[in-house]
């Protein structure tokens, strides 16, 4: 299930904002103690642990659909979640299963979001050449022969937005859903003020 951040009629400069869909939330935490990954790998059915290839243990959940990486230091990274709630649920599920195996861990780990990747659609085709000129070359990378999208770096909120000629966009680097919302608002406003959104 995906999460839409914006209500039905959210407008900027007379233009209705696109719905935003969170594609991936990457978050980290610590379970407090050093972890015996070998013991955890045996306790968690289906866990992948091959230390010669990757130093962490990989544990995939079907519900919510996530991958949790556990490291010997006690650090945990959860990826693939569609919301912060899914991150909390996944880490809580993994923690409960580790405890069931008799391995002591910190009860209420503090979760820190590292990155939110979200997508949206401006609802109209856009001219990336005109946008590259309008937004200013110091914040934009656009080399269509190497990559079909325009890379736009926003300072506040500090995110990177990939814009495509179809009007679709991908926002990455956000730490909270509101950052994505603000970035989409900012782009919609800048493009409509420059007359680049029909």
Residue 9: pLDDT band with limits 50, 70, 90? very low
Tell me the C-alpha distance between 175 and 41, whole Å. Answer: 30
- Lowest-pLDDT range, 4-13, 75-84, 178-187? 4-13
pLDDT, residue 18, reads 65
Tell me the C-alpha distance between 149 and 153, whole Å. Answer: 13
Closest C-alpha to 140, from 130, 126, 155, 150? 150
Which tens digits make up the pLDDT trace of 112-156? 999 999 999 999 999 999 999 998 888 999 999 999 999 999 999
Contacts of 107 (CB under 8 A, 6+ apart): 95
- Is the pLDDT higher at 107 or at 80? 80
Q: Look up tokens 């939330």; give the residue.
A: 25
Domains and their CATH numbers in the chain: 11-23+115-193 (3.30.310.10), 32-108 (3.30.310.10)
pLDDT for 16 beyond 60: no
**Alpha helix stretches (DSSP H) within the chain:** 37-43, 84-100, 128-135, 177-193
Tell me the C-alpha distance between 121 and 20, whole Å. Answer: 8
Q: How many CB atoms lie within 10 A of CB 100?
A: 10
3-state secondary structure at position 180? helix
Tell me the C-alpha distance between 132 and 138, whole Å. Answer: 10
Per-residue tokens: 115: 């990155």
**Side-chain-side CA neighbours of residue 146 (13 Å):** 5
Which tens digits make up the pLDDT trace of 39-49? 999 988 899 99
- Is the pLDDT higher at 11 or at 37? 37
Which tens digits make up the pLDDT trace of 81-122? 999 999 999 999 999 888 888 888 876 789 999 999 999 999
First to last CA, the chain: 31
Tell me the C-alpha distance between 45 and 15, whole Å. Answer: 50
Evaluate the omega torsion of the peptide bond into residue 28 and state whether it is cis, within 30 degrees of 0. no
pLDDT, residue 5, reads 41
Please check whether residue 135 is in contact with residue 61, taking contact to mean a CB–CB distance below 8 angstroms: no
Please check whether residue 113 is in contact with residue 175, taking contact to mean a CB–CB distance below 8 angstroms: yes
């Amino acid at each position: 299930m995906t999460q839409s951040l914006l209500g039905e009629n959210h407008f900027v400069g007379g233009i209705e904002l696109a719905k935003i869909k969170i594609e991936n939330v990457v978050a980290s935490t610590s379970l407090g103690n050093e972890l015996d990954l070998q013991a955890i790998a045996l306790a968690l059915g289906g866990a992948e642990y091959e230390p010669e290839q990757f130093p962490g243990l990989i544990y995939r959940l079907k519900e919510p659909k996530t991958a949790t990486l556990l490291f010997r230091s006690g650090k945990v990274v959860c990826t693939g979640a569609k919301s912060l709630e899914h991150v909390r649920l996944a880490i809580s599920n993994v923690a409960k299963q580790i405890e069931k195996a008799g391995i002591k861990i910190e009860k209420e780990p503090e979760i820190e979001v590292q990155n939110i990747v979200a997508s949206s659609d401006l609802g109209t085709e856009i001219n990336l050449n005109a946008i590259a000129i309008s937004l200013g070359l110091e914040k934009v990378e656009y080399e269509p022969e190497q990559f079909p999208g325009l890379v736009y770096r926003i300072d506040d909120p500090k995110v990177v937005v990939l814009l495509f000629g179809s009007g679709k966009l991908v926002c990455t680097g956000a730490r909270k859903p509101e950052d994505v919302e603000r970035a989409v608002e900012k782009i919609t406003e800048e493009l409509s003020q420059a007359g680049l959104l029909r």
